[in-house]
Amino acid sequence: MTTDPDGHERWMRLAIEEAQAAAAKGEVPVGAVIVCDGRMLGRDQNRVLRQRDPTAHAEMLAIRAATQTLGYERLTGATLYATLEPCAMCAGAIVLARIGCLVYGADDAKTGACGSLRNIVQDARLNHRVKVVRGVLQPECAEMLRVFFREVRHKSEETERCESG
């Protein structure tokens, strides 16, 4: 008997791989994968610092890759897997791309726009609403972020000590 009948964990593990690759390059560890009918259409990781582009979030880049794969701007029927709850920008892009389902790992209490601070992807005033599955592999996704930001704070404190000493 399987514990993951929808296959969400399988695809989320690929998103986690993307997030780990981002962290290894000094980026906030967020990864995204887009799947439709069992076929991966796009995947990517945060590239904000490397591209010096505030829009280079994993979800945005994965959407761009998926639309390039299909040659069409609509991703109707697709599922987007993200390790972190998407922000307002990414949530808006998810709606505009007509993605059918969003599956994410960790909630984002500070900028989450898919249920935490607001819920853009399910706003009844918009012309498209997205099914949302929260908390898939949440412990792994959240821990990756905790470790990353702990290390960033630690490096910042070391720098302050060196500069003031």
Give pTM, 2 decimals.
0.92
| pLDDT number for residue 124 | 97
The CB density around residue 69, as the number of other CB atoms within 10 Å, is: 15
| pLDDT number for residue 5 | 72
Tens digit of pLDDT for each residue in 132-149? 999 999 999 999 999 999
Average pLDDT of the chain to the nearest whole number? 94
Q: Compare 152 and 46 and report the one with higher pLDDT.
A: 46
Confidence of residue 163 (pLDDT cuts 50, 70, 90): low
Q: Which residues are catalytic, by number?
A: 59
The side-by-side arrangement of strands in the sheet containing 79-84 is 39-45, 31-36, 79-84, 101-106, 131-134
| pLDDT number for residue 46 | 98
Confidence of residue 4 (pLDDT cuts 50, 70, 90): confident
3-state secondary structure 63-103: HHHHHHHHCCCCCCCCEEEEEECCCHHHHHHHHHCCCCEEE
